[in-house]
Amino acid sequence: ACALGRTPPPPSAVRCQAAGACFSAHLANSTYAASRSSCGSRRGNLAWVSGEAELGLLLGLLAEAAAGSAPSLFWVGLKRNASACTDGDQPLRGFSWDGGGAAPREVPAALGRWVKEPVRSCLSARCAGLHLAAAAPGGGPGWGWKE
């Protein structure tokens, strides 16, 4: 899932906020590093989620892109550096947004939903993605972060 500037790719692959980022979904079986590079070649970065409105927009786009498939994991810019430890008291568990040079941003506590708790470690860099599953009660897609 890439966060792009205001020049979006074809409409079927993108959703934009009225006054904010555009998100595009790209289905490929690739690594975090390859996905980050792919977003860079599109003049964007792996997506950040800084609030519920952004999350809703991104979840809608990804659910549409993954329609009919089994649970899916989409790389977003969520990373924990080797020097940072897993912190179970934080919504992102010590992970932060990988911004290609920009300062990391933290999500609100309400967005700290994990499908599975990340490995407790301080020794290696780790990445997390946005996991989509079948519809949740209430009709929206089931989601959570997954290492």
Residue 11: per-residue pLDDT: 47
Residue 74 CB coordination number (10 Å): 23
CA distance 35 to 46: 7
Look-up of token digits 């970065």: 45
Is the CATH code 3.30.1050 the one for domain 2-146? no
Phi, psi of 103 (to 5 degrees): -65, 135
Residue 128: per-residue pLDDT: 92
Residue 127: per-residue pLDDT: 92
Cα distances from 105 to residues 63, 68, 71, in angstroms, run 24, 32, 27
CA distance 55 to 49: 6
Residue 111: per-residue pLDDT: 81
pLDDT beneath 50, residues of the chain: 6-12, 101-104
